[in-house]
Structure 1
Amino acid sequence: MTAVHERRSTDTVLWRPTERLRWAQERARSAGVVASPEVMGTCRLTRHSFARSMLRHAGDRRWQVTRERWEMDVGGRGEAVYRVDAEGIQLRFVIFSTTIGDDQRTDRVIAASWDVTAALIEGDLPDERMAFLRENVPGQETGRADVGSLVWTRANRSQRFFDYTVDRLAAGLQPEPEVLGDAAYILRSTAFYSNGKFGLRDFEGLPVQHPLAVPYRAQMLAAWLLRELSYDLVEHCARQRSTHAVALSGQWRRFLGLGNATGLGMVPYIVNHPRVLDAWCALRELPLAYALAQSTEPDDGRVSRLAGLLSRARHYFAERGGLATDPYLSGPDLADHLATLRGLLEQYQDSGQIAGHSTTFAWRALHDAADHVHPEARGVLESLLVELYDELDDDIELMLRCDESLGLRAEQSCQALLELIESGYAWVDHFDFDDPEQSYYFWFVSANSEEPRRGRRGHDPGEQVEQPVDIARAVSALRRDLRAADRATSVAEFLLSAPWHRGAVCRVQSLATVPWAETQANLLARDFLPLHLQRFQLAVYGMDNYSPQSTDWLRVTLFSGAPRAADIAAGVNDDDWLFTRKPEGEHT
């Protein structure tokens, strides 16, 4: 586990594992900005998102992917195995494919069957192991993993796009961009299980030199291989249907991604894993702080590159007029705001000025200007600025493994604890918990859906099993009682009379030097929008194409535009696939 470097001058900020990260930390924005839900809700994927970093690592080290087994009938039902040779480690992605009725396809955890189930395993695959996987993997929750299994996953064929794509290919045609372009997937994943669940190998048991010993790398590999399967599966079904069938060609072979949908279950995760949240915020914020601190000249190559990236992003969003985005900007509206930023950059290229002011720090000036254009345009710009610098690629990975333990300093005085709250949790003052609107919801895990849900306090059943995600309320109550206590009293004595505060005390004490451990939100409030936190997490994973279906869940796409297995094996490590545009002129 990576060592944590404490700040030497004061004990107020968690230091980072490398000099460059510590330098960037000093220049980063405050928690009031970085961890505010409104800013988190504008995030987009970056070069440090898990999907991007996994493929970059695989390409740099020339991972080889081979389709080792393909036993499928005319409808794409059967078994397949992809072998991955990665830095001396042999992995296999074992797939069980079937077809289920449309009424059985659901993104819910409580689903009992799926079109595709799969396991990412390490090691050889003799017949007896294959038989064991065949018996257990398709059942998912009802199955049991062997010791060499790393990830279990499942996916469904898209009701809208799988058969459509097969029909087009069987007729010798390519998909039509106006039909398939917004969604950009033909399989939709519904879960990735790992780290001990069902008996899967524990992440902490992977040696540090293992190619998957970076958080979420195994899940991203499984997702990428599901995407590879989706290509092979539609092409197989098309060939079985017609002797005139064609394969996906040109840009389509890169453009299509893997679909996904996510709901409320993601939100409690970052509350329950505060050091993970800090690392994920740092994954985004420290590269941005590094970029914003760099000087520029109008004829810099990076200025031209940013201009090209802004144009690409503008066209990308302009093409997505049919994608549901409410309560966020539509794609065309966002494209208009990006055109404004592109115009400001053109001024800089021509005159060295942005908004009428000469500057040698164009990124900072453009980022400041984006604040006045639109928050979502600023979010896109932040991803593009990070794209310009690769110096932090290896540094970022060093801080992703976290010690998540929370401890109690019983000897600390109530005065010292109160000071920690006043300095680090002043944001709880934004919420008046005497107002019923600020405690409108409670969170619980539904016995029916087996997922986190929200209920209306005093109205819906389940309050007796409320989950402790109310950090703002808990810290506010702790501060109130500390103010009424003897300030010289120790925390131990205080907790003897108020034991219900123990969790909040441990959290405040343990996270005092962790800058972005708390999302500065009240999850109980009636106006709390879960989508903000969901979008942040999905951006960290590397997903985009955000399409909210309600205030509680949204659809996304992963790996659209990414290199394929053959590209990685051939050393074609094209890492420049941010905001890949729709294929043009390839549907006939």
Structure 2
Amino acid sequence: MMRLAAIKASLRGPNALPLRPVDQVMNLERLGAMHQSRLSFMRILVRRIMLERWQIHTARLNLCAEGYGTVIYEINTAQGLFSFVIFSDYLNSAERNDRVVASKWDLTMALVEGRVEDDYLAFLRQNVPLQEAGRVDARVFVLSRANRSARNFDYVVDQLSKGEQPDVAKIAKVGYLYRTTAVYGSGKLGMADWDKVSSRYPDFARPFAAEMFACLMLRNFSLLQVEHIAQQRNPQQYQPMLPEIKRYFGIGNSTGLGMAPYLINHPVLINQWIEMRELALALVRSLGHIDDRIRQQLDALLARSAQHMAETLTEDPWQSDNNARVIEDLSALREQSGSLLHNWNDLLAWSEQHCSLQGQELLVSILLELYPQLVDGLDDYYCVEEFLDLDSLMPLQKLKEVIERRYDWALKIDFNAIGSRDIFWYRSEDKMEPRLGQCALDGGREKQMPLGVGYAVYKCYQLLCQYIKEHPDHTTARFMVARPKLRGIVRRIQSMDRCVYGDIQANLLAKDVLPMHLLRCKLSFFGVSKFDPRSKLWVRNTMYQGAPLLEDIGHVYNDDWFMPLAPVLGGID
């Protein structure tokens, strides 16, 4: 893969294609329409594991007949040794709760540095099951917990214990045995912070790599556990699960507002993720050769994606309508992309005229899938130093020009209109989780989180224009002395002017804001699928469905689990 500067240089010139414009890409609804891709974190991690042939084995398996006990996996990579520790405990059904306020879970887990000896295991045993109420040390990278699927877990155990396979149609409705309700990392609760992990442990030096690995290990343990319980229950009749059915099981995830502020609080990092995705699309548009093989692959991926969407079940009418529209979009794209297809620009332009936002963005993911040689490797540039500098010497006329050019979207919003500032974001005292408050109903607005970037820019611009009338020749430093509370937003304005993307162009204080779009955007970078909104504030989804199993490590790897489909067994689904 070329270095990033060389890649960008290759796209310059009179015939080069620019990146998609910021006002198109950073539209909140479009961000919420993004899908998984080759550049999603799960895909990147699994590629690395498979190509580097990580050695993952069970160092301790101490489970009773009902699957309760302790399991330790040891992970040998080319650059280190790690352990994944799982505590499986009996949980009364009345105590099972997927909400963040829960205090007990079926499983609790930790990814740690090095080999776990008995004394350290005892320390983990005292703290990991407590989650937020416990305290771990800097050997721990990730802390997580998960609950069994009420619809699948016991059913799968029963089937295997009778010597039968689970019904694929039933699995398609809920494609997991466990769902995780939180995955903590980056220094929380005494864990190793990101600086330590990224600088000392290259295996997990990409964003959320350790967290994604914990979810992958949970998925594989869930398969081990159901087989263990089934075999113990009826050793004479027990049959192991078929590998193709195993691969169809993923891990469930429930994601709420806790994820939303990340996109606003890390604008430089989000810019980098978005820019790499857009750069990948620009490479495909510029250098992606189209021949009969590519046309066949495109048609197959469009058909697979349509079937995947048809197999995605949700009770949410809004999401059901979106899925149905995407299926229509994919059918239309198949017709449009027949033998007359000669360049990607025309197809992308056609999609922007005739397809929904979700259909358009799914097409982008599909195009990236066609050209791994152009796309894979851009993830090397996902990390970036996050700091927002204050340029105190910038003339105020220059600062005003930056706002007018970079934040014209914020200046166009009427923040005095009814409903434009009805919502405030705050952090709950019990679990320190983000929540939404209504200004007319809830108190505590004075403690709101600073997520209304658009409104902050708008207020800054008003005060700046007033100040410039009296002091047109002053620098930013003098303005900061007069208005010290604006230091944070001015620092952001100046710093983001060096980025292509970064700031979400939406009023996050409006009463009709859909936090679901924020969740969807970040989850697409994780690589999840099968979104099932439970409200506008939280969503269920599936991780690692279709991904290879631990026993697949060491075999030929085709990296072909994009938009996975229910397996067809013996010609009968």
Match of 1:308 in 2: 300
SS in 2 for 1:153: strand
Closer/same/farther in 2, CA of residues 339 and 399 from structure 1, 3 Å limit: same
Q: Secondary structure at the match of 1:507?
A: helix
**Distance in 1 (alpha carbons) for counterparts of 2:320 and 2:405:** 33
Structure 2 counterpart of 1:202: 193
Counterpart code for 1:580: P
Pair 1:392–1:23, CA change in 2 (3 A)? same
Which residue, out of 531, 542, 563, partners 1:557?
542
Q: Is the Cα–Cα contact under 8 Å of residues 50 and 217 in structure 1 kept in the other structure?
A: yes
Asked if the contact 1:93–1:222 (Cα under 8 Å) also holds between the matched residues in 2, the reply is yes
Q: Which residue is equivalent to 1:582?
A: 566
How far did 1:104 drift?
A: 2.5
1:543 aligned onto 2:528: yes
Correspondence list, 1:22-61, <5 A: 23=10, 27-61=18-52
**1:284: how far off?**
2.2
Q: 1:471 aligns with which of 453, 461, 479?
A: 453
Offset at residue 23 of structure 1 (A): 4.3
- For the Cα contact (< 8 Å) 2:313–2:532, is it kept in 1? no
Moved more, 140-149 or 30-39: 140-149
Give the aligned partner of residue 7 of structure 1. Answer: none
Give the stretch that moved more between structures: 162-171 or 41-50: 162-171
The aligned runs of 1:344-383 (5 Å cut-off) are: 344-346=336-338, 349=339, 352-353=340-341, 360-361=342-343, 363-371=344-352, 372-383=354-365
Q: Distance in 1 between matches of 2:196 and 2:437?
A: 38
Q: Equivalent residue for 2:490?
A: 505
Deviation per CA, 1:346-396: give whole Å up to 9, x if none.
Answer: 2xx2xx25xxxxxx31x2222222221222211211111001112355542
User: Residue type matched to 1:576 in 2?
Assistant: D
Distance 1:212 1:295 in 2: 31
**For the structure 1 residues 103 and 572, does the alpha-carbon distance in structure 2 shift closer, same or farther, using more than 3 Å as the test?**
farther
Q: Secondary structure at the match of 2:179?
A: strand
Q: Which SS does the other structure have where 1:113 is aligned?
A: coil
Moved more, 326-335 or 254-263: 326-335
Quote how far apart the aligned CAs of 1:31 are: 0.9
Report the counterpart of residue 328 of structure 2 in structure 1.
336
- Given the alignment of the two structures, is residue 571 of structure 1 paired with residue 533 of structure 2, yes or no? no
CA–CA distance in 2 between the matches of 1:269 and 1:434?
Answer: 27
Which of 223, 232, 241 in structure 1 is aligned with 2:233? 241
CA distance in structure 1 between the partners assigned to 2:463 and 2:405 by the alignment: 17
Where does 1:128-207 land on structure 2 (aligned, <5 Å)? Answer: 128-206=119-197, 207=199
Which residues of 2 match residues 374-393 of structure 1 at below 5 A?
374-393=356-375
- Quick one: distance in 2 between partners of 1:383 and 1:102? 40
What is the CA–CA distance in structure 1 between the aligned matches of 2:194 and 2:269, rounded to whole Å?
A: 15
Question: Is the Cα–Cα contact under 8 Å of residues 75 and 83 in structure 2 kept in the other structure?
Answer: yes
| Alignment CA distance shift 1:211-1:410 (3 Å) | same
- Distance in 1 (alpha carbons) for counterparts of 2:396 and 2:411: 20
Change over 3 Å in CA distance of 1:303–1:403 after alignment to 2: same
Cα distance per residue 1:299-325 (max 9 Å; x no partner): 432221111111111122223355646
Matches of 1:406 and 1:578, distance apart in 2: 36
Q: 1:176 to 1:324 in 2, by over 3 A?
A: farther
Partner of 1:223: 215
- What SS does the aligned partner of 2:503 have? coil
CA contact (8 A) 1:63 1:85 kept: yes
Look up the match of 1:409. 391
Structure 1 unaligned residues grouped into runs of 5+: 1-15, 354-359
Match for 1:495 among 437, 461, 480? 480
* Partner of residue 533, structure 1: 518
The residue that corresponds to 2:7 in the other structure is 20
Closer, same or farther: CA 385–394 of 1 in aligned 2, 3 Å: closer
Answer whether contact 2:454 2:507 (CA < 8 A) is retained.
Answer: yes
Q: Distance in 2 between matches of 1:314 and 1:147?
A: 45
CA distance in 2 between counterparts of 1:120 and 1:186 reads 20
Indicate how the Cα distance of structure 1 residues 322 and 456 shifts in structure 2: closer, same or farther if over 3 A, else same.
Answer: closer
Determine the structure 1 residue equivalent to 2:318. 326
- Per the TM alignment, residue 30 of structure 1 is displaced from its structure 2 partner at its CA by 1.1
Corresponding letter in the other structure for 1:524: L
Native 8 Å contact 2:80 2:201 kept in 1: no
Matched letter for residue 39 of structure 1: R
Please give the TM-score of this superposition, normalised by the length of structure 1: 0.91
Residue 40 of structure 1: CA displacement? 0.6
Aligned-residue offset at 1:329: 3.2
Letter in 1 for 2:299: A
| Superposed displacement of residue 449, structure 1 | 4.3
Q: How large is the RMSD of aligned CA atoms in angstroms?
A: 2.0
Determine the structure 2 residue equivalent to 1:445: 427
Contact preservation (8 Å) 2:313, 2:530 = no
Shift of 1:472: 0.3
Amino acid in structure 2 at the alignment position of 1:314 = A
1:167/1:276 Cα in 2 relative to 1: closer, same or farther (>3 Å)? Answer: same
Looking at structure 1, the residues matched to 86 and 416 of structure 2 have their Cα atoms a distance apart, in angstroms, of 54
- Matches of 1:571 and 1:208, distance apart in 2: 29
1:563–1:574 Cα contact (<8 Å) kept: no
Q: Which residue of 2 aligns with 1:423?
A: 405
Distance 1:32 1:79 in 2: 51
Check the 8 A contact 1:475/1:504 in 2, yes or no: yes
Q: Distance in 1 between matches of 2:173 and 2:280?
A: 29
Letter in 2 for 1:316: H
**More deviation in 516-525 or 177-186?**
177-186
State the distance in 2 between where 1:339 and 1:394 align.
28
Instruction: Judge conservation of contact 2:62–2:71 (CA < 8 Å) in 1.
Output: yes
SS at 2:295 equivalent: helix
Instruction: Provide the C-alpha distance between the structure 1 equivalents of 2:396 and 2:108, rounded to a whole number of angstroms.
Output: 53
CA contact (8 A) 1:79 1:96 kept: yes
Q: Does 408-417 or 533-542 show the bigger shift?
A: 408-417
Cα separation, partners in 2 of 1:336 and 1:393, compared to 1, 3 Å: closer
CA distance in 2, matches of 1:22, 1:39: 27
Q: Secondary structure of the equivalent of 1:211?
A: helix
- Asked if 1:277 corresponds to 2:270, the answer is yes
1:71 aligned partner: 62
**Which of 242, 247, 251 matches 1:258?**
251
State how many pairs are aligned: 560
- Equivalence for 1:97: 88
State the 1:76 CA deviation. Answer: 1.0
Query: Structure 2: which amino acid aligns with 1:306?
Result: L
Distance 1:125 1:246, change over 3 A: same
Amino acid paired to 1:557:
T
CA–CA separation in structure 1 for the residues paired with 2:5 and 2:25 = 21
Which residue of structure 2 aligns with residue 514 of structure 1?
Answer: 499
How many angstroms does 1:408 deviate by?
1.5
Q: Percent identity?
A: 34
Work out whether residues 185 and 257 of structure 1, in 8 Å CA contact, stay in contact via their aligned partners in 2.
yes
Aligned-pair CA distance for 1:511: 1.4
* Aligned residue identity for 1:139: L
